[in-house]
Structure 1
Amino acid sequence: MDELQTTLQSLVVGDSGILIDTITMQAQDCQITAHCTTLVASCPSCATPSSSVHSRYRRRLADRTVGTTSVTLQLTVRRFRCRNHGCHQQIFAERLPALMAPHQRSTIRLAHAFQTMGLALGGRPGARVAQTLGMPTSHTTMLRRIHQLPIPPITTPTAIGIDEWAWRKRTAYGCIVVDLHTNRVLDLLPDQAQSTIVTWLRQYPSIQIVSRDRGGGFAAAITAALPTATQVVDRWHLIKNYGEALEAALLSKRAVLRAACTPPESAADVPLIDPFVGALTRTGRHGPDAPMLEADIAARRERHAVLCALHAQIHTLRATGADIVSIAKMVSTTRATVYRYLAMETPPDWVQPRRRTTLDPYKAFLLQQWSAGCQSPRQLWRMIRAQGFTGAETVVTRYLAFMGCQKTKPRPMIHPTYALNNGRIPSAGHTAQWVLLAPMRRTANQQAFLDAVAAADPDCATLITLSEQFLAMIRANEAAALTAWITAAITTTTGHLHRFAQRLRQDEAAVRAGIAGPWSNGPVEGQIHRLKLLKRQAYGRASLALLRIRLIAQPPATAPP
């Protein structure tokens, strides 16, 4: 017992002026009785030392577990008389700041443990983890402990990033401010109103650099609050906005994209797949002799007819002068769909939904081995299982039947552009993604397709050339040619890309600083990702105060033993 008492003396009370009297062990519970040994205590109001004991009382404190054993400390605390007759507090209890806070029923160590778990997990999850560790508490206590943490003060930030975050997507937004030197969150703002942003920025005139995206009204707010600060447009948002403009421009060039996929004359004998038929065959093969499921084919044609009618209705309403919001309400669709259909001169093509399977990484290998002479489905299944495939043999058998593989070498049933986009005409979105890729990162099929698109239409060739020049500037962090690029884009393009270039000219200084400078909104996006995680941990019910303290407050330092 003496050895146990010495160990607990160092682990539980340490050198805080407390001496353990008795230790009682019951199953997984340890009851410790102790008393204070200091001779003098200071009045908390006037700091006058006193050695005159008035009375004693017992405090019961919960402490952290030692291993799997819960610890409860029953401490005898003294009351003293204040010797300063002018002090309003004539009687006071001695303070033990290294062990416990006034009026608390737990030690500081236990409170710090709850705060650390609460910051990481939240209320109910933190309480469940604490229960598992032998420190039972309620979720309200866990939240109360979190709110007791102090918010670190904001000193003199010089470079910040600002962006919006969604309270509720497309409904309510707030703002997040991050220090780009330390990558730490400085503050959460309850909304994205310009007045709110201006008020916050004016509190910190030391700010010299502000990184932002191209939306949300940030430019006007920063100019109003900090006219001498350098604004920086984030490069990732710049490429994202350009990609959206490029995709919108390519939507009107679907005939060119279709022409670029037209099979050559030498491949005229290769049968192509009817987009409405796809894989709908009773035998699972693409062959022309396979019977079709007429009901499913008719359903696909009917759904495509609905899309064509929607396209015609949107264009008709727009021709009568209706605005975008009114059209979206009248045809019961979203504004994004209205914009996309207005940019399309012809109705949309039918695209068969693609389903990803566990066999996808091994399909090329299977067809290669089949063509090389290995035509046993079981042997092929064993070969890919050795490579990591986890599916059944029937999956391989059905795929080989689906591809029309017989005991003889199978003939190609899909145009060679199959490797490009599974045999379908690439969409405007896919084409824009390939244009945004660096030339050395494109596959041979992607590069050949882009070359065919450029050769088929001069406007598309101009779009691809401008895109490669713009992205080369961003990747090389060289903004010297930005003005010339904007001028060329305005004079040689129309529509979405023309408007994009005009908006760049209005914000050219910030765009130039974003391309050539080292600053970006990467740390801000990372903190927004973390904020989304905290929101979802709380099932969307966390208040701004709780989100702010969990995002900004630091876990307490490890308490002394």
Structure 2
Amino acid sequence: MSTACPGRCPNCCKQARRVHSTYQRTLDERPLGSCRVVVRLRVRRYFCDRGGCSRTTFVEQVPGLSARYRRSSTGLVGWLRSIAIELGGRPAGRLYRRLRLAAGRTRLLRLLTAPAVPDRAPRVLGVDEFAFRKGCTYGTVLVDVEAGRVVDVLPDRTSETFAAWLTEHPGAEIICRDRATAYTKAVRKAAPDALEVADRWHLLQNLSAAVEKTCHQHRDCLRKHAEEETVTEAPAVPPMLLPPAELPRTQIIERTRHRYEDIHRLLEKHWTISAIARRLNLERKAVRCFRDTNLDQLLVSAHERRPNGVLEPFRAYLNARFTEAQGQVSGTRLFLEIQASGYRGSRQVIRKPLAALRAGTAEPVRADIPSPRKITSWIMRPRETLTESQDERLLQVRLACPDITRACDLARTFADLVRHQRGYLLLEWVRQAEQDAPKPMKGVAGFLRQDLDAVTAGLTLPLEFRRRRRPREPGENAQASHVRPGLVRTPPHSHPHSAGDAPSAGL
């Protein structure tokens, strides 16, 4: 039974004097250990004696315990809201079932309220896209870079929507963005006086993608160099010579071939990249890749995506032993030999390769060369972070292909410009890349020339204007924790493949 003083009318705030009736409320409270706690509270309903008030009666609320229309205590509601902020709907619902609390995902999501959007844009505004559903629906996240919090979320990534937001919320002096043309167009239309700054993280991401594409295009050079090194070593057991095998008709190979045919058929009909992407439910960069890459290269890349498995390091030995014994060797003996050399798989795994060797349909053992992604990670990382073996393997890659060597030199020079804020040397880098760089690197240089002012600002402006971040209010880290804004975000030194990252401001 509540024994507090008579409450005040929620409309006119006049203190009540007369009790209308009483009734019992049941409130769920935070659990005590593994036991559920239920509070049965008898509350009073009062008359409102003010004549002009529209409310005739009202129910008293116990501060810190009850609230209108709530069947849970205010403490439990705070728990629900905090966990829903951090985990979302379904994950938070699963956690609450483990805690033996009744809270479905829809109830948890109803507790979340969007923060109020300020009338004016922050002084330093970060803008980037993110995926509601990757490959289908995208939105735009706007970040106050100095405060480190999300300002607003837009339903799409079009220039019209962003331009309308900038018009309704003036005040942005610096806008940090990636090199998306839609955001550039919106800034020039709605905020022409704002300083555009290219995000350093996205610049390094674009550069690493060009380096990886260069490595993909020159895998034949790496393989030829590795095979020549293998031949000069003169192994004791000659490797098995097999005719080149055709690519297997696997699902990924067939899907790649059909997708290539569909895209080029639509290109012949003069369809645009965006129209093809919508028709085939693909991303535009995937359509461009199929447009600009040879079919044989796409099929080889798809074929090499297969996992190597535990047997792959021992295939060359199996082929050599099979050739030496002229096929007169048992699978059990070969299994024991490779097991003594470190094989940790089962005996069943080697049956299929041995059957292919006896039938003469086995694929030739390819030379062990690093993947393009791994080479890119060695190039994009600072040299002092590489181990001796990684540095040695990168040196072999550079000796094998002059184009990869040139891409490596340009990438490391550009990374040095980014890390030491030497934007005044950017134009010279662009000229060198346009002269003798591989085609993907020339593409990056061309894009940088088109956005030269913003990129130069991103590589020149200092960090001193960043204000001290204010402490977050309780529960505020909810919206900001899912996005990683900030002026001092560390650029990627390994290969970046994260989608939907927030702008790092690049200042």
Normalised by the size of structure 1, how large is the TM-score?
0.61
User: Matches of residues 203-352 of structure 1 in structure 2 within 5 Å?
Assistant: 203-215=168-180, 217-249=182-214, 253=218, 256-257=221-222, 260-261=225-226, 263=228, 267=232, 269-270=234-235, 287-288=239-240, 300=247, 335-336=287-288, 338-342=290-294
Aligned to 2:410: 466
Question: How far has the Cα of 1:354 moved from its partner?
Answer: 5.9
2:456 to 508, 512, 517: 512
Secondary structure, aligned partner of 1:339: helix
2:115 to 148, 151, 158: 151
Whole-Å separation in 1 of the counterparts to 2:21 and 2:298 = 92
Q: Given the superposition, is the C-alpha separation of residues 264 and 104 from structure 1 closer, same or farther in structure 2, using an over 3 Å criterion? A: closer
Whole-Å separation in 2 of the counterparts to 1:150 and 1:242 = 36
Aligned to 2:24: 58
Whole-Å separation in 1 of the counterparts to 2:376 and 2:24 = 74
Aligned to 2:432: 488
Aligned to 1:136: 102
Matching of residue 91 in structure 1 with residue 91 in structure 2? no
User: Matches of residues 5-20 of structure 1 in structure 2 within 5 Å?
Assistant: none
Matching of residue 501 in structure 1 with residue 455 in structure 2? no
Whole-Å separation in 2 of the counterparts to 1:495 and 1:124 = 46
Q: Given the superposition, is the C-alpha separation of residues 347 and 269 from structure 1 closer, same or farther in structure 2, using an over 3 Å criterion? A: farther
| Structure index of larger Rg | 1
Contact 1:251–1:344 under 8 Å retained in 2 = no
2:482 to 512, 527, 548: 527
Q: Given the superposition, is the C-alpha separation of residues 254 and 307 from structure 1 closer, same or farther in structure 2, using an over 3 Å criterion? A: farther
Match for 1:445: what amino acid? R
Secondary structure, aligned partner of 1:49: coil
Aligned to 2:397: 449
Question: How far has the Cα of 1:229 moved from its partner?
Answer: 2.4
Match for 1:151: what amino acid? P
Question: How far has the Cα of 1:96 moved from its partner?
Answer: 3.0
Normalised by the size of structure 2, how large is the TM-score?
0.66
Aligned to 2:3: 36
Match for 1:80: what amino acid? Y
Secondary structure, aligned partner of 2:424: coil
Whole-Å separation in 2 of the counterparts to 1:54 and 1:320 = 81
Contact 1:158–1:207 under 8 Å retained in 2 = yes
Aligned to 1:109: 75
Aligned to 1:277: none
Contact 2:211–2:408 under 8 Å retained in 1 = no
Whole-Å separation in 2 of the counterparts to 1:191 and 1:92 = 45
Question: How far has the Cα of 1:476 moved from its partner?
Answer: 2.7
1:395-439 alpha-carbon deviations (Å, 9 max, x no partner): 9x97xx99xxxxxxxxxxxxxxx9xxx824566666555544444
Q: Given the superposition, is the C-alpha separation of residues 84 and 232 from structure 1 closer, same or farther in structure 2, using an over 3 Å criterion? A: same
Contact 2:196–2:454 under 8 Å retained in 1 = yes
Match for 1:200: what amino acid? W
1:473-515 alpha-carbon deviations (Å, 9 max, x no partner): 2233322211111122223447443332122112112212222
Contact 2:253–2:303 under 8 Å retained in 1 = no
Secondary structure, aligned partner of 1:71: strand
Contact 2:44–2:60 under 8 Å retained in 1 = yes
Match for 1:163: what amino acid? D
Aligned to 1:368: none
Whole-Å separation in 1 of the counterparts to 2:20 and 2:307 = 80
Aligned to 2:160: 195
Question: How far has the Cα of 1:169 moved from its partner?
Answer: 2.6
Secondary structure, aligned partner of 1:77: strand
Aligned to 1:185: 150
Matching of residue 355 in structure 1 with residue 307 in structure 2? yes
Question: How far has the Cα of 1:172 moved from its partner?
Answer: 2.1
Contact 2:96–2:103 under 8 Å retained in 1 = yes
1:172 to 110, 132, 137: 137
Whole-Å separation in 1 of the counterparts to 2:297 and 2:266 = 13
Secondary structure, aligned partner of 2:180: coil
1:68 to 34, 48, 53: 34
Whole-Å separation in 2 of the counterparts to 1:362 and 1:298 = 19
Match for 1:197: what amino acid? F
Q: Given the superposition, is the C-alpha separation of residues 53 and 287 from structure 1 closer, same or farther in structure 2, using an over 3 Å criterion? A: same
1:359-407 alpha-carbon deviations (Å, 9 max, x no partner): 99999xxxxxxxxxxxxx99998998xxxx9x57979x97xx99xxxxx
Contact 2:196–2:457 under 8 Å retained in 1 = yes
Whole-Å separation in 2 of the counterparts to 1:264 and 1:97 = 80
Question: How far has the Cα of 1:270 moved from its partner?
Answer: 4.4
Question: How far has the Cα of 1:177 moved from its partner?
Answer: 1.7
Contact 1:60–1:72 under 8 Å retained in 2 = yes
Match for 2:57: what amino acid? I
Q: Given the superposition, is the C-alpha separation of residues 341 and 323 from structure 1 closer, same or farther in structure 2, using an over 3 Å criterion? A: farther
Q: Given the superposition, is the C-alpha separation of residues 71 and 361 from structure 1 closer, same or farther in structure 2, using an over 3 Å criterion? A: farther
Question: How far has the Cα of 1:191 moved from its partner?
Answer: 0.5
Equivalent pairs counted in the alignment come to 436
Where do 5+ consecutive residues of structure 2 fail to align? 316-334, 355-364, 467-476, 486-501, 503-507
Match for 2:482: what amino acid? Q
Match for 2:179: what amino acid? R
1:50-107 alpha-carbon deviations (Å, 9 max, x no partner): 3233333333333333333333333332333333333333433334343211233332
Secondary structure, aligned partner of 2:12: coil
Whole-Å separation in 2 of the counterparts to 1:501 and 1:513 = 16
Contact 1:178–1:184 under 8 Å retained in 2 = yes
User: Sequence identity of aligned pairs in percent?
Assistant: 25
Where do 5+ consecutive residues of structure 1 fail to align? 1-33, 272-284, 364-376, 403-417, 531-550, 552-561
Q: Given the superposition, is the C-alpha separation of residues 288 and 152 from structure 1 closer, same or farther in structure 2, using an over 3 Å criterion? A: same
Question: How far has the Cα of 1:174 moved from its partner?
Answer: 0.8
Q: Given the superposition, is the C-alpha separation of residues 217 and 83 from structure 1 closer, same or farther in structure 2, using an over 3 Å criterion? A: same
Q: Given the superposition, is the C-alpha separation of residues 168 and 451 from structure 1 closer, same or farther in structure 2, using an over 3 Å criterion? A: same
Aligned to 2:421: 477
Aligned to 1:534: none
Secondary structure, aligned partner of 1:241: helix
Question: How far has the Cα of 1:192 moved from its partner?
Answer: 0.7
Contact 1:252–1:343 under 8 Å retained in 2 = no
Match for 1:79: what amino acid? R
Contact 1:315–1:342 under 8 Å retained in 2 = no
Match for 1:488: what amino acid? Q
Question: How far has the Cα of 1:194 moved from its partner?
Answer: 0.9
Q: Which moved more, 1:191-200 or 1:71-80?
A: 71-80
Aligned to 1:406: none
Aligned to 1:374: none
Contact 2:264–2:291 under 8 Å retained in 1 = no
1:442-490 alpha-carbon deviations (Å, 9 max, x no partner): 4213213303423xxxx66544443332222223332221111112222
Whole-Å separation in 1 of the counterparts to 2:50 and 2:281 = 79
Secondary structure, aligned partner of 2:228: coil
Whole-Å separation in 1 of the counterparts to 2:480 and 2:49 = 59
Question: How far has the Cα of 1:189 moved from its partner?
Answer: 0.9
